[in-house]
A = this chain, B = another copy of it.
């Protein structure tokens, strides 16, 4: 998660909402790493998790990431949680909750929905305060401008 926090700080330095994500394989080797690039990339879908999933599929030349774990500093939104299901990622670790848009416990939890064809193990709260403080500090500074 420390690596994700580094990535979130890189996002903040670019004026992007600071969220960082990595995907690791079953040997804990990093397969992909990314951070939010919505403004820089002028791309609605450029959330850290979605970019990490796309990079991992490219790197591994397959759409099933059934042996991977995704780490991210913020609770995934509906798009990213939906992508986690589509990629069959079995384990997601996130730091802090997103009460406004989080789809993994805040608004609902689509990673633990019996109606869908995939479920995830979810771990949350690791480095939560640090990840949350990076976001709070970013929005505080942005309001000043």
Contact = CB atoms under 8 A, between A and B. Distances in A.
A64 to B, nearest CB: 7
A116 B103 contact: no
A97 to B, nearest CB: 14
A102 B64 CA distance: 20
A101 interface: yes
A53 B79 CA distance: 12
Interface in A74-112: 77-83, 85-88, 100-101, 103, 107-108, 110
A61 to B, nearest CB: 5
A87 B44 contact: yes
A115 B102 CA distance: 11
Interface in A57-81: 57-58, 61-65, 77-81
Given A79-B82, A82-B82, A54 B43 contact: yes
A116 to B, nearest CB: 7
Given A44-B83, A78-B110, A79-B85, 6 more contacts: A42-B61, A44-B88, A45-B87, A78-B81, A101-B117, A107-B113
Interface of A: 38-39, 41-47, 50, 53-54, 57-58, 61-65, 77-83, 85-88, 100-101, 103, 107-108, 110, 113, 115-117
